């Protein structure tokens, strides 16, 4: 074949052969390569460019959000007064029942610089890294609910593995009933979040809120994850298939918060 083709085409065919061989090799063993450092370098290069591209969008959004947030702030001030007294009451009751106190979540504000994955984002780059005390395993949230956990921490940026990553799993409970399950992302037959491992005997209703259960110890308990959207049976017929609509708007992320892990949890696999 090399003799039939003209020299220029032989060169391009050889180039394609080399690139195809490298790609196939990467497909077979690419997951074993330490690529985290390269992604860190990429995040470092892209951070200022992301900020420039997002500047106009963020300014317009900030203008709109400012008006909404003023109204919301007034509402929340009133609600906060009520919750403070309820919190004191809750703390006293937990003390009487010898239950451990609820942990105080220390929120670290961060900017979401970029999203990865089509059509559903599976990861996000945040504007804070290990120098800002953001570590692998920390939970990432928005004001609406859970986003995921820090998968890689670079010096000044970090990468969040979102709930929509196929390798992500979150131990959850259904609010008020305490039904437990594990939240995973499924691509088939269409992309959606599923609460798996819920027995048929457990009662779950559409519209109920799903929160982190704290059982996996990766996430603090009580962070909103989503709302039950629909119910069905899993293919085995033994468990329920609970579809959950995410609380956080994953397609439109601008800002978020990182919740540092508590000391005993850090270092867990």
Partner 1 sequence: MKAVAAVVVFVIVTLLLRSTALTALAARGVVIDVLAFATVVWAMRHGESGGTTFGFVLGIAADLDAAHWMGRHALLLALLGYTVGRLSHTLVRDSARTQCVLLFLATVVHQTWAAAFEFGGVQAWPHLLQRVILAGVATAPLGTLLLGILRRVSGQSLFSHAALPTRTAT
Q: List contacts with partner 1 (CB under 8 A).
A: 8-9, 11-13, 15-16, 19-20, 22-27, 30-31, 33, 35, 38-39, 42, 45-46, 49-50, 53-54, 57, 114-123, 125, 159, 166-167, 187-191, 250-252
Cβ closer to partner 1: 54 or 231? 54
Do strands 146-153 and 139-141 pair parallel, antiparallel, or not at all (unpaired)?
antiparallel
Report CA 3 to chain centroid distance, whole Å.
54
Shortest Å distance, C-beta 150 to partner 1: 13
Cβ closer to partner 1: 57 or 79? 57
Cβ closer to partner 1: 57 or 143? 57
Residue 48, CA distances (Å) to 52, 85, 108 in order:
6, 45, 21
Biggest CA pair distance of the chain: 89
Task: List CB contacts of 92: < 8 A, sequence separation 6 or more.
Answer: none
| Beta-bridge mates of residue 203 | none
Shortest Å distance, C-beta 164 to partner 1: 9
Distance CA 212, CA 245 (A): 14
Shortest Å distance, C-beta 31 to partner 1: 7
Cβ closer to partner 1: 166 or 178? 166
Shortest Å distance, C-beta 174 to partner 1: 26
């Amino acid at each position: 074949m090399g003799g039939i083709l003209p020299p220029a085409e032989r060169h391009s065919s050889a180039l394609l052969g080399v690139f195809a061989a490298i790609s196939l090799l990467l497909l077979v063993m690419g997951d074993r390569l330490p690529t985290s450092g390269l992604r860190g370098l990429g995040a470092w290069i892209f951070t200022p460019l992301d900020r420039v591209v997002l500047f106009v969008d963020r300014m317009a959004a900030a203008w709109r959000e400012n008006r909404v947030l003023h109204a919301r702030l007034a509402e929340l001030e009133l609600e906060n007064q009520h919750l403070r007294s309820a919190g004191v009451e809750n703390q006293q009751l937990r003390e009487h029942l010898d239950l451990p106190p609820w942990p105080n979540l220390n929120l670290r504000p961060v900017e979401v610089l970029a999203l990865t994955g089509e059509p559903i984002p599976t990861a996000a780059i945040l504007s804070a890294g290990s120098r800002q005390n953001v570590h692998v395993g920390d939970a990432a949230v928005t004001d609406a609910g859970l986003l995921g956990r820090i998968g890689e921490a670079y010096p000044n940026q970090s990468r969040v593995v979102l709930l929509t990553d196929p390798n992500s799993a979150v131990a959850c409970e259904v609010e008020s009933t305490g039904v437990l399950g594990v939240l995973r992302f499924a691509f088939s037959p269409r992309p959606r979040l599923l609460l798996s491992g819920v027995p048929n005997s457990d009662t779950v209703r559409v519209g109920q809120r799903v929160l982190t259960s704290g059982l996996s110890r990766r996430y603090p308990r009580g962070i909103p994850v989503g709302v039950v959207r629909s119910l069905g049976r899993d293919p085995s017929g033994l468990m329920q298939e609970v579809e959950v609509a995410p609380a956080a708007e994953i397609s439109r992320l601008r800002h978020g918060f990182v919740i540092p892990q508590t000391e005993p949890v850090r270092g867990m696999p």
